[in-house]
Amino acid sequence: MTIDVWRITGQSQIDSYVGRWAELAVVLVNALAVDHTQGRTRPLPETPAERLAALEPALADWRARHPRPPGDGGPLDTGRLAEVATALRPAFLAGPYAGVAELNTLLVRHGAVPNLHGEPPVLAFHAVEADVAGAMAADAGTALAMVIGVGQGERLAACQAAGCELVFFDVTRNASRRFCGLACQNRAKAAAYRARRGGPARKSAT
Query: Where do the H-state alpha helices sit in 33-173?
Result: 48-65, 78-88, 100-109, 132-149
DSSP 201: P
Residue 130 pLDDT exceeds 80: yes
pLDDT of residue 71: 56
Nearest-CA neighbor of 24 among 159, 160, 131, 169?
A: 169
> How do 36-37 and 40-41 pair as beta strands?
antiparallel
Residue 25, H or E segment: helix 12-32
Give the model's confidence band at 175: pLDDT under 50 very low, under 70 low, under 90 confident, else very high.
confident
The total of other beta-carbon atoms located within 10 Å of residue 70's CB is 18
CB 147 within 8 A of CB 22: yes
More confident residue, 35 or 6: 35
Q: Please give the Cα distance from 24 to 28 (Å, whole number).
A: 6
pLDDT of residue 138: 96
pLDDT of residue 16: 76
pLDDT of residue 199: 52
Residue 28 pLDDT exceeds 90: yes
Helix (H, G, I), strand (E, B) or coil at 49: helix
What are 47-102's pLDDT values in tens digits? 999 999 999 999 999 988 886 655 556 788 999 999 999 999 999 998 778 899 99
pLDDT of residue 161: 92
Per-position b or e across 79-118, b if 16+ CB within 10 A of its CB: ebbbbbbbbbbbbbeeeeebbbebbeebbeebebeeeebe
pLDDT of residue 73: 63
